[in-house]
Amino acid sequence: MRYALMVYAPPDHVAALPDDQRDAVYAEYFALAENPKVVTDMRLQAADTATCVRVSGGRTLMTDGPFADTKEVLGGVAVIDAANLDEAIELAARIPAARLGGTVEIRPVFER
């Protein structure tokens, strides 16, 4: 079954680390991206580059920045192919943001 892993973390949570720790964390992210269970992954640009779109009364309304002002922002998404939720949790727990003050949300993906 496929699961989406959505990585939420404080902005610049990795940049605040000392150089050696930051390099180690990036190496973990790169290693996870190479995991054969990972179908696709993407790191998102900073939340302040976002544009939000709503349609109201037939008019398209746009605002700059994220929809909500939060301490954690969506920083990336990965789609994995796991046997079950337990395996998805095991992989999500290996994402550095999960131990660096962030959260990894897991959701099953609808199969077509």
Domain boundaries of the chain, sorted by first residue = 2-44+71-108
Distance CA 47, CA 10 (A): 11
Average pLDDT estimate for 75-99: 96
Whole-angstrom CA distances from 91 to 8, 35, 40, 72 are: 15, 10, 14, 20
- Output the average pLDDT for the chain: 92
Please state, for a pLDDT cut of 70, what percent of the chain lies above it: 96
Higher-scoring residue by pLDDT: 70, 35:
35
Cα–Cα distance between 9 and 55 in angstroms, integer? 29
Mean pLDDT, rounded, for 61-75: 79
Q: What integer pLDDT is reported at residue 16 of this predicted model?
A: 86
CATH class of 2-44+71-108: alpha beta
